[in-house]
Amino acid sequence: MFVITADQVDSRTRPDIVTGALDDLNERYSDRLELPVDRNAGDEIQALTADPRTALDLVLELTRRGMWSVGLGAGSIRTPLPAETREASGDAFIAAREAVTRAKRSPTRFAVNAIVAPRPAEDAEALVNLLLTIRESRSPAGWELYDLVVSGLTQAEAGARLGITPQSASDRARAAGLRAELAAIGALTRLLTSLDDAQLRTDTA
């Protein structure tokens, strides 16, 4: 199981964005979560999912604009689940708490942690951080193309929607690292699956 704990950056000097984030994430990810995304203490939000791809998608969404420090924790969850995420507990929540604390000191504002089998978490953190570094240098034009491609359009279709030539779309995609990111998503999802499996194997050993 995965827990994402995200803390708003510079919350003392910026307007509260938690409410808007909760509404947006719950609308978009509700069918992929174990419980609704919830406000934790202060300016934190927490999400709980059993799906590695959903965990990765949430990390990429929350880190995109630099407005959150994001910790990803993997591990067991105490059952039965309560009605609200902030009332849940278990190793994954402890791991996410430690991860978000480290994330606040990370250049990418992201960290991964696991209590039982931490080595796979270290591997996942290193490789996700490589992807986040690519994303940090992406221009607004690159994000514009990215959003169209991940919505289901081909690169050529996205270029046509933007009114640019196929060659320009290809150049923009290359500069934005789109092909590298799209190729990495599957591999990172499998890595997170292995991270989750490692917690289960060790728990039952």
pLDDT at 202: 58
Domain residue ranges of the chain, discontinuous segments joined by + = 2-117
Q: What is the DSSP string of the chain?
A: -EEEEEEETTTTTS---HHHHHHHHHHHHGGG-SEEEEE-STTEEEEEES-HHHHHHHHHHHHTTS-EEEEEEES---SS--SSGGG--SHHHHHHHHHHHHHTTSTTSEEEEESS-HHHHHHHHHHHHHHHHHHHT--HHHHHHHHHHHTT--HHHHHHHHT--HHHHHHHHHHHTHHHHHHHHHHHHHHHHHHHHHHHHHHT-
| Joined tokens for residue 24 | 């947006």
CA–CA gap between residue 204 and residue 200 (Å, rounded): 6
pLDDT in tens, 79-108: 999 999 999 999 999 999 999 999 999 999
Q: What is the mean pLDDT of residues 138-154?
A: 96
pLDDT at 184 over 60: yes
pLDDT at 200: 82
Q: What is the overall mean pLDDT for the chain? A: 94
Q: Is the pLDDT of residue 14 over 90?
A: no
Q: Domain 2-117: give its CATH architecture.
A: 2-Layer Sandwich (3.30)
pLDDT at 204 over 50: no
Give me the percent of the chain exceeding a pLDDT of 70. 98
Q: How far apart are CA 149 and CA 154, in angstroms?
A: 6
Give percent of the chain above pLDDT 90.
91
pLDDT tier, 53 (very low <50, low <70, confident <90, very high otherwise): very high
Please determine, for residue 118, whether its predicted confidence score (pLDDT) is greater than 80.
yes
Query: Interhelix angle for 118-136 vs 52-63, to 10°?
Result: 40
